[in-house]
Amino acid sequence: MPKQATLTKGSTFKHVSIMSFTGALGLMAMFLVDLVDMLFLSMLDEREAVAAVGFASTIMFFTVSISIAVSISATALVARAIGEGNFELAKRRATNVLGMGVIFSSMVVWFLWPRIPDMLVFLGANFKTLDMATSYLQILMLGMPAVMIGMIASGIMRALGDARRAMYATLACSIVNAVLDPILIFLFGLGIEGAAIASLLARLSMVAVSYYGVVSIHRMLGEFDLVESFKDLKPIAVIAIPAMLTNMSSPLANAIVMEFAAGFGDHAVAGIAIVGRVIPVVFGGLFALSGAVGPILAQNYGARHFHRMHNAITSAVVYALGYCLVLCSALYLAQDFLVSIFNASDDTARLIHFFATYGSFSFFFQSLLFIAIAVFNNLGKPLNSTLLNFGRATLGTLPLIAFFGWLMGAEGIIFGQAIGSVIFGCIGFVMARRYLHELERREVMTFQSDASIQQDICPNS
């Protein structure tokens, strides 16, 4: 058990950088393996296999987003309790979130598994692509409870300020996946099913590493009691349900994009799928930003250190700007390399070039939205995150990609998404700043009111 709230002391920029960097390493390693999956499957010279993974990944992103949402609840509640110095409450909530998460994820698998072919048809998959995507997804979805455990355990460790061990869990998953991929895909000749089996086994390894960190190192889990857990159901649900809806908006946007790309043919679907694999590898440091800023805000909110909360947001913006300048430039220089390693056809290559040249720079504004989401999820207004993300996924996606797709062709899909990120990133960041100032004003008014009451009770003190 930690003896102090480590994120309430020291440089906020250092905390943001370390938490983001370690989170990014884990995320980028995990997504890099997904990218290697795509590379291996492209070597099979089956365009349908790459498109199938693109369709399946849209649904898998939905299930992973549910796990992330529950982990957000764990991070916020545990970090806030740590900031308040109430370590027993932190342990109880960590235990209850993990237990409820396992139960819920198992129910999701039970509900979705028999409906996989219908969901893929809805997204636009057909013929051989549909068969490949179905077999891939039916294997991979069985690992959702493992993903839930790994995500929640990592969230608990981030709440404690132990970003390093949270990173180990995702690194272990990536290493196992990278080792098993070529063995199962090529040596055993299992093709796309081999890639799915490798990912499933890798997710089980993530459970072992993350569970060890939470239980053996930090001793943050007690015995789960289903009846007793209901006392924490409300605070968990208040954060988890809006966060779940927030995270569902991203797969909703991806589904809209995939369905729209299907109208341009398999070449466009393959191009969007490749770009979708490149994005988390290159911009993992930004995707990790929300999970990095959240525990810092939550611990300092529990300790009522508002000046550090403002500094944390500023530090996050500086970090995001520097990250984007470096990584967007690197992606621009590497675009020909990406086209060559994926053996991309002319139509598919055009999309990769367009994203690397123009679309990638919108991710700075996407990072502003990530920061805003961290503020609202961890400081008591998760519904704002839901509204922002659903706004971006709907108003910031469908009309824009439809208009620019009509105007520019398949490249308009990427351009429309970029414009949506700019609009909603700016709106979200302004809202988050205002909300933080509002919380600070409330705290000052409460303090003044308490002081006035105390003065009335003890006028001579």
Amino acid 452: pLDDT:
56
Residue 335 belongs to a domain? yes
Amino acid 269: pLDDT:
80
Instruction: Please answer whether residues 215 and 237 qualify as being in contact, where contact means their C-beta atoms are separated by less than 8 angstroms.
Output: no
Tokens of 142: 């069985």
Distance CA 422, CA 437 (A): 23
- With b for 16 or more beta-carbon neighbours within 10 A and e for fewer, the 174-184 pattern comes to bebbbebbbeb
Residue 22 belongs to a domain? yes
Amino acid 365: pLDDT:
94
- Which portions of the chain are predicted below pLDDT 70? 1-5, 26-35, 45-47, 251, 446-461
User: In the block, which residue shows the tokens 């839901």?
Assistant: 386
Give the count of domains, the chain. 1
Return the sign of the alpha-carbon dihedral for residues 392, 396, 399, 405. negative
Amino acid 55: pLDDT:
79
Distance CA 328, CA 384 (A): 29
Among 363, 335, 358, 360, CA closest to 348: 335
Amino acid 329: pLDDT:
92
Is 258 exposed, middle or buried, given 0-12, 13-18 or 19+ CB atoms closer than 10 A?
buried
Residue 421 belongs to a domain? yes
Amino acid 178: pLDDT:
83
* pTM of the complete model: 0.76
Residue 6 belongs to a domain? no
Amino acid 42: pLDDT:
73
State residue 202 phi and psi, 5-degree precision: -65, -35
Helix or strand holding residue 57 (H, E):
helix 47-84
Residue 296 belongs to a domain? yes
Q: What is the DSSP string of 210-262?
A: HHHIIIIIS-------HHHHGGGHHHHHHHHHHHHHHHHHHHHHHHHHHHHHH
Distance CA 173, CA 202 (A): 5
pLDDT tens digits, 27-37? 666 666 666 77
Residue 450 belongs to a domain? no
Return the sign of the alpha-carbon dihedral for residues 239, 240, 241, 246. positive
Distance CA 100, CA 405 (A): 42
Residue 104 belongs to a domain? yes
Amino acid 453: pLDDT:
56
Amino acid 3: pLDDT:
46
Residue 194 belongs to a domain? yes
Amino acid 350: pLDDT:
85
Distance CA 430, CA 432 (A): 5
118: number of Cβ within 10 Å: 9
Domain containing 185 equals 14-445
Distance CA 446, CA 306 (A): 14
